[in-house]
Amino acid sequence: MRTVQQLIDGKGGAIFSIRPDAPVLDAIRMMAEREVGALLVLQGEQLAGIISERDYARKVILKGRSSAETRVSEVMTRDLITVAPDRTVHGCMKLMTDHRIRHLPVVDGEGVVGVVSIGDLVKAVIEDQQAEIAQLQSYIAG
Burial of 36 from C-beta contacts in 10 A (0-12 / 13-18 / 19+): middle
Radius of gyration of the chain (CA): 17
Q: Give residue 12's pLDDT.
A: 80
Write the DSSP symbol of residue 16. Answer: -
Q: Give residue 108's pLDDT.
A: 92
Instruction: Count CA atoms within 13 Å of residue 19 on its CB side.
Output: 4
What pLDDT band is residue 95 in, cutting at 50, 70 and 90? Answer: very high
Q: Give residue 129's pLDDT.
A: 86
Residue 142 has pLDDT above 80, yes or no: no
| Mean pLDDT across the chain | 93
Question: What is the pLDDT averaged over residues 35-61?
Answer: 95
List, in order of start, the domains of the chain with CATH numbers.
Answer: 4-141 (3.10.580.10)
What pLDDT band is residue 3 in, cutting at 50, 70 and 90? Answer: very high
Model confidence pLDDT, tens digit, residues 33-47: 999 999 999 998 899
**With DSSP H G I counted as helix, E B as strand and the rest as coil, what are the percentages for the chain, rounded to 5?**
45, 25, 30
The Cα angle at residue 38 between residues 54 and 106, in degrees rounded to 5:
125
Q: Give residue 117's pLDDT.
A: 94
pTM: 0.87
